[in-house]
Amino acid sequence: MQVTFEVPSDRRHWVRATRRAMRPYMVTITVACLIIVLAGATLVALDPDEAGQGIGFIVLGLVLLSLGPLLPWLTVRMQKWMLTPPLTITVTPEKLASRSATTSSEFAWSAVRRVQETSDMWLVRLGRSHLLMLPKNGTDETGRQEFRHLLVERGLAR
């Protein structure tokens, strides 16, 4: 059994996948930024005569908070290899292989931590920072069913 996915080089598609993958971390980023703002407010309240450092913390927290929603876009922008057409991901019972005109990589199924299914794609998480996006429209219906079956066999889906 072998399933091949054709991954588009559409930047918006990758940003959407990255945003979906980063969603659990956005809560942590937001809480950390609010803690920085609170620390700055505390410094200003405790020593109003020397408010410069506290105001600096408040500004830093607000700037970081505003950058949070831009992280998926910045991530895709920095990872230009994702936008190099065409990207083909081949899934077999032994491994996942990614191949484009400039790069290729192979991953054993033991490296897969989790597979998250959305309405239009599967997000295959390899460790904390590596992600493979498998669009559902990147293969035919038979390929989608075989991939689902493989995920069930591996205990990564129901």
pLDDT at 41: 94
Is residue 84 predicted with pLDDT exceeding 80?
no
Distances (CA, A) of 114 to 87, 109, 122: 21, 10, 10
Rounded average pLDDT over 97-106: 83
Contact 24, 114 (CB under 8 A): no
- Cα angle for residues 16, 63, 24 (degrees, 5° grid): 40
Are 136 and 144 within 8 A, CB to CB?
yes
pLDDT (0 to 100) of residue 19: 81
Q: What is the pLDDT of residue 139?
A: 86
pLDDT of residue 32: 93
Give residue-wise pLDDT tens across range 126-155.
877 778 888 888 888 888 899 888 888 888
